[in-house]
């Protein structure tokens, strides 16, 4: 197969084999917006995590994954740091959304995350995405 990639100015769309278009936007519909959305996930979810992050995930019937962020002041004191973590998480989700199962995800972090560089955060989250894929591909709930 001869694969070629064509990227637009913002690196938001990639064409594979000139027929299939993959969108890398992070739209409003891909966010958990309301308290009810968060309650739904918190009430009965599967937990994934490591020493820096905890991800809660619950299947949805929407046909695409959604992300919610719950970065507390208790775990990350400075607003600048909280915003940096959220930006990195959103970016990583945006890039991997097409590989994820149809789940609602809430991402929370632990104080250890402040000691990590950007690429280390990306690596840790990508490992959690892979665990999530395996768990939900074998799960019936």
Mean pLDDT by 10 residues, the chain (141 residues): 40 50 75 90 90 92 92 94 94 90 93 93 93 80 52
Neighbour-count burial of 63, counting CB atoms closer than 10 A to its CB (0-12 exposed, 13-18 middle, 19+ buried)? exposed
Q: Is residue 104 part of a domain?
A: yes
pLDDT at residue 10 in the model: 45
pLDDT value at residue 76: 93
What is the reported pLDDT for 21?
A: 63
Closest C-alpha to 16, from 30, 32, 3, 7:
3
Identify the domain containing residue 54 by its residue range: 26-138
Edge-to-edge strand ranges of the sheet holding 13-16: 5-7, 13-16, 20-23
Please give the Cα distance from 71 to 92 (Å, whole number): 16
| pTM reported for the whole predicted model | 0.79
The answer to whether position 125 is within a domain reads yes
In a domain, 14, yes or no: no
Q: Residue 9 domain-assigned?
A: no
Task: Give the CATH number of the domain where residue 130 resides.
Answer: 3.30.230.10
Per-residue model confidence (pLDDT) at position 2: 38
The count of structural domains within the chain is 1
Does a structural domain hold residue 15? no
**Does residue 131 fall inside a structural domain?**
yes
Query: In this structure, is residue 67 part of a structural domain?
Result: yes
Task: Tell me the C-alpha distance between 57 and 65, whole Å.
Answer: 10
Length in residues, the chain: 141
């Amino acid at each position: 197969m001869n694969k070629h990639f064509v990227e637009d100015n913002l690196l938001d769309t990639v064409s594979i084999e000139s027929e299939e278009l993959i969108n890398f936007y992070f739209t409003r519909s891909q966010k958990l917006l309301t308290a009810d959305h968060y309650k739904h996930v918190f009430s009965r979810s599967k937990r994934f995590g490591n020493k820096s992050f905890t991800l809660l995930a619950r299947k949805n019937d929407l046909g695409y994954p959604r992300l919610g962020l719950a970065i507390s002041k208790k775990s990350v004191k400075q607003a600048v740091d909280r915003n940096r973590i959220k930006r990195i998480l959103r970016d990583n989700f945006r890039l991997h959304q097409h590989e994820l199962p149809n789940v609602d995800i809430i991402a929370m972090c632990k104080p250890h995350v402040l000691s990590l560089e950007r690429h280390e955060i990306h690596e840790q989250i990508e490992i959690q995405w892979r665990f999530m894929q395996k768990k939900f591909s074998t799960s019936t709930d």
